[in-house]
């Protein structure tokens, strides 16, 4: 009896998917909600817009690194692949599990958010946000289980819809008449100066970084992208430019109608602006945008998380069963485990604490990825690099300095967050030492994807 060869990931995704993944994974609910917290920390128009511009520049610096590493190592699995190749099993173990948990926690939080918005739009779902969220979760999970093509199609459609809807909101702000805000009776917020400004900037950047994160999401599908050496860098840079443009226009539109002092503390500035333009229908309009935006982000997260486990299993850092791929090109066991983790966060609500330190993990993973570029440039100078980071070593070095500065500023503003991050980081090493003897590195696990 001939044993059939194990299925591989399918190389069936193109540049359109890569662009949709970058835009769809990044633009979620953050840009419609986080401006309020950013303005609270920096209640000045110049400082507020400066924080968002800095976030975009910071992302562009990082994009050069992700583009080189993604094109050089077109393996599915994301930042884990880079860290493991550069620093070995110990660092790879921490990055893989931290990244897997981060994406899963965020997916759970966003699924509940969708449930809450559906409850506000459809009376039958009112008070049943968990049920509504789980129903949507089940539909997205089923589409992923069918295969990578169906998941990719959902990503492309939701990304186009959310981009068009947000651009339409910007046009409406500048073209249509709007109601005036009621007079405020609260005292204006003081603009921080000196050392207080540094602390405030660190707090503000948590929201900005969270809103910009995932611009590199296409690297999680490296071996499933056709012509990855060209498609990955193009997807990252083109997608990021679209994101920066939308974020800049939206924030400028918000400030056109609502002064920055009134943006401060507004938990959902997008709804406030839409209501001023469209009246009572504005809240419905913005909630529909939010649902579409968040669905695209959650779909991207559900697609990416199994590929982290698959990559770790290939390297012997996770049970080998996670390498199983179904006929549709989906890592089936890894997907099931990821869905269980997301479901656990959904039902326990324990993700709230983790979300509070999410920005610390994001920047820490940035730092490790940027360091991987320097490490691999020294260790593997002759490895083919279809794209080389622009301005090396100065631009990637500036990205490292920026990440270090952001970590320091955020640590000053949120000691609890950095403490939790440090505990998780320190605990990963003994956890790795305990788990390593139970795992065996599989033989012959690598192989080219099928077309």
Name which residue leads in pLDDT, 189 or 372: 372
pLDDT at 413: 67
pLDDT at 402: 87
Mean per-residue pLDDT over the chain, rounded: 87
Question: Stretch 219-230: mean pLDDT, rounded?
Answer: 96
Question: Stretch 281-302: mean pLDDT, rounded?
Answer: 89
Question: Stretch 295-321: mean pLDDT, rounded?
Answer: 93
Is the pLDDT at 158 greater than 70? The verdict is yes
Tell if the pTM clears 0.95, that is, is over it. no
**Which pair of structure tokens corresponds to residue 351?**
């993700």
pLDDT at 351: 45
pLDDT tens for residues 31-64?
888 899 999 999 999 999 999 999 999 999 999 9
**Which pair of structure tokens corresponds to residue 306?**
């199994």
Is the pLDDT at 223 greater than 50? The verdict is yes
Percent of the chain's residues with pLDDT above 90: 57
pLDDT tens for residues 74-91?
999 999 999 999 999 989
CA 201 to chain centre: 21
pLDDT band at 352 (very low <50, low <70, confident <90, very high): very low
pLDDT tens for residues 394-411?
999 999 998 898 888 777
Query: Is 451 in contact with 241 (CB distance < 8 Å)?
Result: no
Domains of the chain as residue ranges with CATH: 15-432 (1.20.1740.10)
pLDDT tens for residues 185-209?
666 888 988 888 988 888 888 889 8
* Residue 13, strand partner residues: 225
Of 5-9, 124-128, 318-322, the least confident? 5-9
Question: Stretch 153-160: mean pLDDT, rounded?
Answer: 94
The 3-class SS string of the chain reads: CCCCCCCCCECCECHHHHHHHHHHHHCCCHHHHCHHHHHHHCCCHHHHHHHHHHHHHHHHHHHHHHHHHHHHCCCCCCHHHHHHHHHCHHHHHHHHHHHHHHHHHHHHHHHHHHHHHHHHHCHHHCCCHHHHHHHHHHHHHHHHHHCHHHHHHHHHHHHHHHHHHHHHHHHHHHHCCCCCCCCCCCCCCCCCCCHHHHHHHHHHHHHHHHHHCCCCHHHHHHHHECCHHHHHHHHHHHHHHHHHHHHHHHHHHHHHHCCHHHHCCCCCHHHHHHHHHHCCHHHHHHHHHHHHHHHHHHHHHHHHHHHHHHHHHHCCCCCHHHHCECCCCCEHHHHHHHHHHHHHHHHHCCHHHHHHCHHHHHHHHHHHHHHHHHHHHHHCCCCCCCCCCCCCCHHHHHHHHHHHHHHHHHHHHCHHHHHHHHHHHHHHHHHHHHHHHHCCCCCCCCCCCEC
């Amino acid at each position: 009896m001939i044993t059939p060869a194990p299925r591989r990931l399918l190389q069936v995704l193109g540049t359109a998917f890569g662009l949709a993944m970058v835009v769809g994974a990044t633009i979620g609910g953050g840009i419609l909600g986080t401006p309020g917290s950013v303005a609270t920390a920096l209640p000045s128009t110049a400082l507020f817009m400066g924080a968002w511009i800095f976030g975009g520049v910071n992302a562009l610096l990082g994009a050069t690194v992700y583009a080189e590493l993604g094109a050089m190592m077109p393996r599915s699995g994301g930042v884990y692949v880079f860290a493991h190749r550069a620093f070995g099993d110990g660092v790879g173990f921490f990055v893989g599990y931290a990244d897997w948990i981060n994406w899963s926690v965020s997916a759970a939080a966003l699924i509940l958010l969708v449930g809450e918005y559906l409850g506000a739009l459809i009376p039958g779902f009112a008070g049943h946000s968990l049920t509504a969220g789980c129903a949507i979760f089940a539909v997205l999970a089923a589409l992923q289980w069918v295969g990578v093509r169906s998941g990719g199609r959902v990503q492309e459609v939701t990304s186009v819809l959310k981009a068009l809807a947000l651009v339409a909101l910007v046009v409406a702000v500048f073209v249509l008449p709007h109601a005036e805000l009621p007079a405020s009776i609260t005292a204006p917020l003081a603009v921080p100066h000196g050392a207080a400004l540094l602390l405030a900037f660190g707090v503000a950047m948590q929201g900005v970084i969270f809103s910009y994160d995932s611009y590199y999401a296409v690297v999680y599908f490296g071996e499933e992208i056709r012509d990855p050496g060209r498609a990955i860098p193009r997807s990252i840079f083109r997608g990021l430019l679209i994101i920066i443009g939308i974020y800049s226009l939206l924030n400028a539109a918000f400030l056109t109608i609502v002064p920055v002092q009134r943006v401060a503390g507004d938990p959902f500035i997008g709804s406030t602006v839409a209501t001023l333009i469209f009246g009572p229908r504005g809240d419905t309009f913005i909630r529909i945008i939010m649902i579409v935006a968040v669905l695209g982000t959650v779909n991207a997260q559900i697609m990416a998380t199994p590929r982290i486990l698959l990559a770790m299993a290939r390297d012997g850092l996770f049970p080998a069963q996670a390498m199983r791929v179904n006929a549709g090109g989906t890592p089936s066991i890894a997907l099931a485990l990821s869905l269980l983790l997301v479901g656990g966060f959904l039902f326990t609500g324990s993700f709230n604490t983790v979300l509070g330190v999410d920005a610390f993990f994001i920047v820490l993973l940035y730092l490790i990825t940027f360091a991987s570029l320097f490490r691999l440039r020294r260790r593997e100078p002759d490895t083919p690099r279809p794209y080389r980071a622009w301005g090396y070593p100065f631009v990637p070095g500036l990205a490292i300095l920026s990440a270090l500065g952001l970590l320091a500023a955020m640590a000053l503003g949120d000691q609890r967050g950095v403490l939790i991050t440090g505990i998780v980081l320190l605990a990963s090493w003994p956890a790795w030492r305990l788990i390593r003897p139970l795992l065996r590195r599989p033989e012959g696990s690598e192989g080219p994807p099928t077309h």
